[in-house]
Structures are given as C-alpha cells and as structure tokens.
C-alpha cells in the first residue's frame, strides 16, 4: 500500500505495525480485511473491476472506499 501524499509505503506482514510499516491482511468468506499500519481497518469485497467497502478508524471515521487497478 502506498500513500503518495504522505510518502508512506507499507508492506504486509503477520501484524499491523506503524514502526515497521506493515499491514495485516486476512480473507474470510470473500471479504478482505486489512488492518492498516497507519491505523484503522479496511473491510473490502471484490467488485467487477476492483474492491469496494469501508474504512473505519476509531469511532470518528467511517467512510466508503473503492480501489481500482489502473
């Protein structure tokens, strides 16, 4: 995962860790859940041309997310 505006690049590992810049991803019943290195959680399902779902962080942020490969 890369966040261009912040210049932050992270990889996947066995747990999310901001110091090590790692995310944790799991797949269950067709849903991809990503515990993000910068905090929060993506819960995504496959759509025709990408992934769609929600990103939540704490109790104050809950937004729709759509990821597409270009």
Cβ(8)–Cβ(2) below 8 Å: yes
What is this structure's pTM? 0.82
Q: How far is CA 64 from CA 13, 29, 45, 54, in A?
A: 25, 20, 12, 4
User: Given this model, what pLDDT does residue 43 score?
Assistant: 97
User: Domain residues of the chain, as ranges?
Assistant: 2-63
Per-residue pLDDT of the chain (70 residues; tens, 9 = 90+): 555 556 778 899 999 998 999 999 999 999 999 999 989 999 999 998 899 999 999 898 999 999 887 7
């Amino acid at each position: 995962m890369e966040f261009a505006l912040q210049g932050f690049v992270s990889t996947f590992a066995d747990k999310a860790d901001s110091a090590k810049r790692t995310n944790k991803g799991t797949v269950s019943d067709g849903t991809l859940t990503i515990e993000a290195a910068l905090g929060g959680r993506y819960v995504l399902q496959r759509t025709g041309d990408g992934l769609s779902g929600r990103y939540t962080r704490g109790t104050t942020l809950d937004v729709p997310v759509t990821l597409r490969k270009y």
